[in-house]
Structure 1
Amino acid sequence: MDTQIIPAAPGTPDRPYFGIDVPLMRLLGLQPMHMEEGLCRTRLPASDRIVNSRGDVHGGTLMAVLDFTLSGAARSHAPLDVGVITIDMSTHFLAGARGELTFEARLIRRGAKIAFCDGEAKDASGNVVCVARAAFKLVPMSSGGN
């Protein structure tokens, strides 16, 4: 898997996440890896600040990062111009997640106002630990978004 950080949209210190700033993703330590039309990849380094009482990455952390990565795939056609609002998201936890994780999201279908995406989180061994599917409302960037 590609581990080089390659933002599709210009990344700057104030807009590091494929052309936008998401303070929660900064807090979690998420790293943007790659975005292209219909695809988004991110990486979450291991940290003891994002785990639950068992030492697994907290489910809320997994859901938040999947939401962001899925939204990246939804807006990948115009990352500097289009924002998104999550309409619906379902998540399935398949195994405890430990250590560094990579997230990959794919666009299933995009219409004029709605995009549908699916994605997964994998551990360092390549095991899928969590999957998600979401629908997003597409909005002009000036209206906000994920």
Structure 2
Amino acid sequence: MPALLRRLYLEVANGGFGPDGVLSLTDTGKWYSEEESLLRCVREIKSDPEFLYLLHTPPLMTLGCAIWWHVDFRTPEARMWGWDPNALCERHRFFEERFTLAQWLENWLEGNRTFPHPPPVVDCPDCLN
């Protein structure tokens, strides 16, 4: 887990912070999302071979309509990723964002609520329909 996210869970709160309430790390009895906890999400990802690619970028927070923010555990700066099944084709619904967890949180503290923005895809016939 990236150091900033770990410190937030240990020193700030076990979920509920951020623009729409970051998932709790463990089940607290309070749900800040459609999911009980980050650990439960990771267990579900591990049990479904179709979603194993999400194992190192677990979901962090939902915006509703199945749109999620994910955080990349492979990067020390915690790159943010977006998931939007309502946009683009199945291959392009999960995409890297242009900012880190720290930048995402700074943006929220400044009063902004950001949504994932899929990159433009020009050579995919499934996305162009």
Same fold at TM > 0.5: no
TM-score relative to the length of structure 1: 0.35
The one of the two structures with greater contact order (alpha-carbon pairs below 8 A, sep at least 6) is 1
Structure with the higher fraction of residues in strand conformation = 1
Structure with the higher fraction of residues in helix conformation = 2
